[in-house]
Amino acid sequence: AQSVTQPDARVTVSEGASLQLRCKYSYFGTPYLFWYVQYPRQGLQLLLKYYPGDPVVQGVNGFEAEFSKSNSSFHLRKASVHWSDWAVYFCAVSIPSGGNYKPTFGKGTSLVVHP
């Protein structure tokens, strides 16, 4: 079964600084990978997704993520953080089977942005 680890429960950055949120997955093949963002009192929204292909995926609001099969990772990056990025970020993995497999979510990383 697949699994996801987000090792950092909380990350604090200054506005304008660069950002990396870490995600490690466990699956012997090449999975589908997702990053979702949750703003206060809202549901989760998709930031970006990876289907097998180009390892660097561009998302909304300047976010990108890079898939690494050798490291089993899918880290999220942003060159310059804005205060509006203050939210909780979830990494998820699913198996591209065309069947009934559901995505598995990590526990989330809370991003705090200081002015």
Q: Does 98 bind another protein (CB under 8 A)?
A: yes
Q: Does 12 bind another protein (CB under 8 A)?
A: no
Cβ contact 13:19 at 8 Å: yes
- What gap in Å lies between CA 107 and CA 104, rounded to an integer? 10
Q: Does 45 bind another protein (CB under 8 A)?
A: yes
Q: Which is nearer to another protein, 32 or 74 (CB)?
A: 32
Tokens 């993995």 map to which residue?
93
Q: Does 32 bind another protein (CB under 8 A)?
A: yes
Contacts with another protein: how many residues (CB under 8 A)? 26
Classify residue 47 by burial, with Cβ atoms within 10 Å: 0-12, 13-18, 19+: buried
Q: Does 23 bind another protein (CB under 8 A)?
A: no
